[in-house]
């Protein structure tokens, strides 16, 4: 089951929610902060984006490709 990084806007806690893609699509508004129970949360893409970016960079980083290595 994939997990998603969320940040609570009330208590600033970072936490992870495990849900299927289907659950996330249909029940994202039911997700609550695991610390204070607030529904005032937003998905935190930062970590995933960083991983994705570094992967994409790695793929394009080939000899003769104009990058550092
Ligand atoms: Zn909270």
pLDDT tens per residue across span 10-28: 999 999 999 999 999 999 8
Asked if residue 20 lies in contact with residue 2, where contact means CB atoms within 8 angstroms, the answer is yes
Residue 55 Cα to ligand 1 midpoint, Å, equals 31
Residue 41 Cα to ligand 1 midpoint, Å, equals 8
Residue 58 Cα to ligand 1 midpoint, Å, equals 36
More confident residue, 54 or 5: 5
* Residue 50 backbone phi and psi in degrees, to 5: -60, -45
pTM metric for this prediction: 0.63
Residue 43 Cα to ligand 1 midpoint, Å, equals 13
Round to whole Å and give the CA distance between 60 and 55.
9
Asked if residue 44 lies in contact with residue 11, where contact means CB atoms within 8 angstroms, the answer is no
Domains with residue ranges and CATH for the chain: 3-60 (2.20.28.10)
Place of tokens 């990084």: 5
Round to whole Å and give the CA distance between 62 and 52.
17
pLDDT of residue 6: 95
């Amino acid at each position: 089951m994939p997990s998603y990084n969320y940040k609570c806007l009330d208590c600033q806690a970072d936490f992870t929610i495990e849900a299927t893609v289907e659950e996330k699509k249909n029940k994202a508004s039911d997700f609550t902060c695991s610390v204070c129970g607030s529904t005032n949360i937003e998905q935190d893409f930062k970590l995933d984006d960083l991983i994705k970016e570094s992967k994409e960079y790695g793929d394009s980083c080939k000899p003769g490709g104009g990058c550092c290595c």
